[in-house]
Amino acid sequence: MPDIVQIILYSFASGATVILGVFLARLKILPANELGREISHAVIAFGGGVLVAAVAFVLAPKGIQMLSMPVLIFAFLLGAICALLLDRFFARRGGKTAQLMAMLLDFIPEATALGAVFSVDRQTGLKLALFIGMQNLPESFDSFGDLLRSGFSPGKATLVLIPFSLLGVGGAVAGYSLLAEHQQLVAGLLVFSAGALLYLVFQDIAPMAKLENDWAPATGATFGFMLGMIVEKLLGA
């Protein structure tokens, strides 16, 4: 099977979990009681654990391996600063959009990197596709609730999120076509995402997941990171 066809299939599969997350959120499968609240916070924390695993096992390692120290620091801090500025912008507007920000700041750069990396390292490309899919499910599930709390109708929130499933395909094809010969730039994109995600995890997602005297959020985060370790163990070099 040609590389470009595999890239389209992998990126579409990783983006399809956005549709699944929105579908589950629209079903309102969580009970409207304390148990539902605990599960919701555990899902948020699970997503945070997966994001930290993605930083630890996929995003940062390639940058550490390929970039010089000044470029590594610059790309990482640039990602964190962009996340900070977006966070302040949305805070002034009063919206609850942490998970949506996480999707914007990791899905598009990661999908672009997926296409570029796949042409030279299929194992890393497959690993990146799995992490993207794992991240998108809890992120889209919680982003749907974020948008509802920000005043969006269910239909409008769905229309905002569903295009993410196709943006990944476009980003992956662009990465394969334009960046395959520029692996240092790809490494910079991954490190940029790492800085942005770490800022968001500790500024927004982790505090949002916290429940007093409850073990579910911490357990969810632990299982999210453990799932990342399992992927790394199965597909790591």
| pLDDT tens-place string over residues 113-128 | 888 888 777 887 888 8
- Residues of the domain holding 190: 3-235
The percentage of the chain sitting over the pLDDT mark of 90, rounded to a whole number, equals 6
| pLDDT tens-place string over residues 140-189 | 887 887 788 777 888 888 888 888 778 888 888 988 888 878 888 888 98
CA angle 33, 36, 37 (to 5 degrees): 85
- pTM, to two decimals: 0.77
Q: What gap in Å lies between CA 66 and CA 45, rounded to an integer?
A: 31
Domains of the chain: total: 1
